[in-house]
Amino acid sequence: MATAERLAAFSDAVIAVILTLMVLELRAPDYPSFSDLTPLWPTAVSYAVSYLFIAIIWTNHHYLMRFVGPPTLRLIWINFAHLFMVSLVPFATAWVARTRLASAPVAFYTALFVCVDIAYNVFEREVLVRAKASQVSDRARRMARRRSLAVLAIFASAILVAFVAPRLAFVLVCGALILHLRPEALDSRP
């Protein structure tokens, strides 16, 4: 029988593997000088942003799991869909890094963020619909919904911006991530 704890443990394990795959993409320079690190800035930046994104995903997932009773089959499959989208982050990160933040890879990267965010929003909505009013206030639910829609709008805008100014699109992604840094907004009780 599925429990919230098993669902959380499985999700934790998948996210740990995703982070491991991402770090395996990092390559040290061939030469011993600090100046040899300079050309690796796209890798460092894309890795840092992706790591932050996955840390935010894990943190928000962790906070939401507090409100899950026995998970339904629907919630389990929504979680699988969300984790699948997250599993593509290492690929997108590597492409952005190798192409030094070129337009198409950044557009793909931001589009992936849109897909991950949509899957998260569906997961969040499913959990909050089932959460008791004593656990999450209507105000906190509205705040979570507004925040999710704002982040989604910024990510979607970044896709379009990526074709004209990929570095600006990358900055937009970073700005959107800031909005998800505080999942404890759901802690407000009625």
- Please state, in angstroms and rounded to a whole number, the distance separating the CA atoms of residues 150 and 72: 28
Q: Is 190 a residue whose pLDDT tops 50?
A: no
- Please state, in angstroms and rounded to a whole number, the distance separating the CA atoms of residues 132 and 144: 15
Residue 66 DSSP SS3:
coil
On whether residue 115 sits in a domain, the answer given is: yes
Please write the tens of the pLDDT for every residue from 52-76: 999 999 999 998 998 888 999 999 9
Radius of gyration of the chain measured on its C-alpha atoms? 18
On whether residue 165 sits in a domain, the answer given is: yes
What pLDDT is attached to residue 24? Answer: 84
CB proximity list for 77: less than 8 A, separation 6 or greater: none
Please write the tens of the pLDDT for every residue from 19-49: 999 988 888 888 899 999 999 999 999 999 9
Domain count, the chain: 1
Please compute the mean of the pLDDT values over residues 3-17 and round it to a whole number.
95
Q: Is 188 a residue whose pLDDT tops 60?
A: no
On whether residue 59 sits in a domain, the answer given is: yes
| Dihedral angle sign, alpha carbons of residues 19, 21, 26, 28 | positive
User: Token pair for residue 101?
Assistant: 């933040």
What pLDDT is attached to residue 139? Answer: 84
Nearest 5 degrees, angle CA 57-CA 61-CA 66? Answer: 160
On whether residue 33 sits in a domain, the answer given is: no
- Please state, in angstroms and rounded to a whole number, the distance separating the CA atoms of residues 123 and 58: 13
Check residues 190 and 82 and name the one with the higher pLDDT: 82
On whether residue 31 sits in a domain, the answer given is: no
Q: What is the chain's mean pLDDT, rounded?
A: 91
CB proximity list for 5: less than 8 A, separation 6 or greater: none
User: Token pair for residue 73?
Assistant: 């089959």
Q: Is 162 a residue whose pLDDT tops 90?
A: yes
Identity of the amino acid at 115: C
On whether residue 125 sits in a domain, the answer given is: yes
Domain that holds residue 163: 4-24+39-187
On whether residue 29 sits in a domain, the answer given is: no
On whether residue 13 sits in a domain, the answer given is: yes
